[in-house]
C-alpha cells in the first residue's frame, strides 16, 4: 500500500472558466440591487462601452474590492470598509475613471 499522494495542480485557465459564470451572475445581481452600480453601468454605456465592456468594469470593481478586503488595505480603511470602497469605486466609474485608474494608483505604504 503506497502513501503517495498526488500534489494538486492549479490551472488558471480552468479556474477562470469555473469562476466566470459566478462572476457574471454576481455582476447581474449587483446591477439589480445597487443603484450605484447601475448608475456606473449606465454612465459606461453612455461613454460608448459595449454592454460586455461595461459589465467587465463593474466586475473589476467587485474583484478589486474583494482584494482590498482580503488585504485589509489602507484604501479599504479610508473608505470605511468593503461596502464603502465598492460604493466609491462605482461612483468614480460613473464620473469617468476606469477600474484600473481607481485601484492601480500609487503603491501604498504599510
- What does the alpha-carbon distance between residue 103 and residue 62 come to, in Å, rounded to a whole number? 11
Is 86:65 a contact under the CB 8 Å cutoff? yes
CB atoms within 10 A of CB 101: 11
| DSSP letter assigned to residue 95 | T
pLDDT tens, 45-99?
999 999 999 999 999 999 999 999 999 999 999 999 999 999 999 999 999 999 9
The pLDDT value recorded for residue 110 is: 40
Q: How many CB atoms lie within 10 A of CB 102?
A: 20
Amino acid at each position: 500500500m503506497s502513501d503517495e499522494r498526488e500534489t494538486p495542480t492549479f490551472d488558471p485557465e480552468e479556474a477562470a472558466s469555473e469562476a466566470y459564470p459566478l462572476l457574471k451572475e454576481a455582476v447581474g445581481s449587483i446591477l439589480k440591487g445597487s443603484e450605484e452600480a447601475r448608475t456606473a453601468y449606465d454612465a459606461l454605456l453612455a461613454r460608448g462601452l459595449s454592454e460586455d465592456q461595461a459589465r467587465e468594469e463593474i466586475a473589476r470593481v467587485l474583484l478589486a474590492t474583494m482584494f482590498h478586503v482580503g488585504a485589509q488595505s489602507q484604501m479599504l480603511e479610508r473608505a470605511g470598509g468593503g461596502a464603502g470602497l465598492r460604493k466609491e469605486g462605482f461612483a468614480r466609474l460613473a464620473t469617468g475613471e476606469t477600474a484600473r485608474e481607481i485601484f492601480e494608483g500609487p503603491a501604498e505604504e504599510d
